[in-house]
Amino acid sequence: MLLADDTGLEVDALDGAPGVRTARFAGEHATDADNRKKMLREISGKERTCRFRTVALLRFPDGRELIAEGVCEGTLSLEEIGERGFGYDPLFIATDGDGRTFAQMSVEEKHALSHRGKAFRALAEML
In this predicted model, which residue has the larger pLDDT, 108 or 85?
108
Domains of the chain, residue spans: 2-126
The answer to whether residue 12 is catalytic is: no
Could you report the per-residue pLDDT of 60-82, keeping only the tens digit for each? 999 999 999 999 999 999 999 99
Q: Quick one: average pLDDT of 21-49?
A: 95
Of residues 6, 12, 32, 98, which has the active-site annotation?
6
Name the pLDDT band for 125 (thresholds 50, 70, 90).
very high
Instruction: Please give the model's pTM, rounded to 2 decimal places.
Output: 0.91
What does pLDDT average to over the chain?
95
Cα–Cα distance list, 84 to 35, 62, 65 (Å): 16, 39, 33
- Spelled out in words, what is the top-level CATH class assigned to the domain 2-126? alpha beta
Neighbours of 116 (CB within 10 A): 17
Rounded CA separation 88/101 (Å) = 9
pLDDT, mean of residues 1-6: 94
